[in-house]
Structure 1
């Protein structure tokens, strides 16, 4: 995304409702609420910087790319209420991930509140009403279309990651 001038992109504003974790425990987005909830995708290399500038409950503005037909914004620029900005200039050539999260077997159940997408609009899972995000590869999510609908109750099993920023379940099994 580093080649895109964020000033030319549409801007949305809202309040950060929760952060989203990928199956490796890295922050890869958040839920932005104004009139409705919307997913903002953030490249994982920005996760730590994001949480130093923005907290749950903060009002922010986001500029990014919106894929067709889905409610997700791939963030290029975020501005906090205090005017602090974070621009996605791409990962640094020397950036090394030192993620040390504990994954454990886990299960969860709840009603699907929001579908979750990758940066290009590919279905990647769902956010449950209990705040847990269910994550899976795009191909698996597409094949589970009958399960992944807003308002449906599901139970899922897989590898759980918990942090102070959120909970995610890398789904291995799912049932209604």
Structure 2
């Protein structure tokens, strides 16, 4: 969202309740509470994490300038204004940035879904349980198990998880309504990378284009 001028967007205020982790243990959003409203999921790209944890902490009164997708109760943040008025703006990804090296371990979770978790374009990506555990599911798998990721649903999962001082997250490989009723989650198969064109084929194609 770095191409959008944040000052052109309406400001939404609330209290930062908790950060939300992705499967790599990075912060990619948070829950913002406001009076008399359902808590709002705010999506932030992982490259904003250093600034967010430097200027924000749970309990702070903050403001968001962001966009709302049509299909989810979500704000995709373009800028976050901290309690001390510091403005944290999404200037785009750092392409040299690497995922943090956090040890992953086998992890399971069970409980009641508090909020569904979405990507910035409202794609379902998991759930936040009432105990604070984050469940992450791949985009194809999430569609198949959407009912188990809806608010109020009872869900259980097992997979690989991470834990940091900001919370816990498990990338679910199995899911069900109870730990003793788990089934594998179908994940999208990665697309094969195109084979590099041989030098003589590339030269032949270039000559054909030049003579066309």
TM-score tier, shorter chain, comes to over 0.9
The whole-number CA distance in structure 2 between the counterparts of 1:49 and 1:18 is 16
- 2:41 aligned with 1:32: no
Q: Which moved more, 1:147-156 or 1:107-116?
A: 147-156
The whole-number CA distance in structure 2 between the counterparts of 1:13 and 1:55 is 15
Q: Which one of the candidate residues 63, 66, 71 is aligned to 2:65?
A: 63
Contact 1:106 1:157 (8 Å CA) reproduced: yes
Greater share of strand residues, 1 or 2? 1
Consecutive unaligned residues of structure 2, counting only runs of 5 or more, are: 178-212
What's the offset of the Cα at 1:146?
A: 2.5
- State how 1:1-176 maps to structure 2 within 5 Å: 1-34=1-34, 35-93=37-95, 95-97=96-98, 99-176=100-177
SS where residue 148 of structure 2 aligns?
A: coil
The whole-number CA distance in structure 1 between the counterparts of 2:134 and 2:25 is 11
What's the offset of the Cα at 1:112?
A: 0.4
Greater share of helix residues, 1 or 2? 2
Structure 1 segments of 4+ aligned residues over 2 angstroms from their partners: none
The whole-number CA distance in structure 1 between the counterparts of 2:150 and 2:38 is 17
Q: Which residue of 1 is the match for residue 205 of structure 2?
A: none
Larger Rg: 2
Q: TM-score, normalised by structure 1?
A: 0.96
Q: Which residue of 1 is the match for residue 201 of structure 2?
A: none
What's the offset of the Cα at 1:98?
A: 5.0
Consecutive unaligned residues of structure 1, counting only runs of 5 or more, are: none
Q: Deviations over 1:55-113 (max 9, x none)?
A: 011110000111002111111001112111100010235x4225110100010111000
The whole-number CA distance in structure 2 between the counterparts of 1:148 and 1:10 is 29
The whole-number CA distance in structure 2 between the counterparts of 1:4 and 1:111 is 36
How has the CA–CA distance of structure 1 residues 158 and 61 changed in structure 2, closer, same or farther, with 3 Å as cutoff? same
Q: Which residue of 1 is the match for residue 186 of structure 2?
A: none
Cα RMSD of the aligned pairs, angstroms, is 1.1
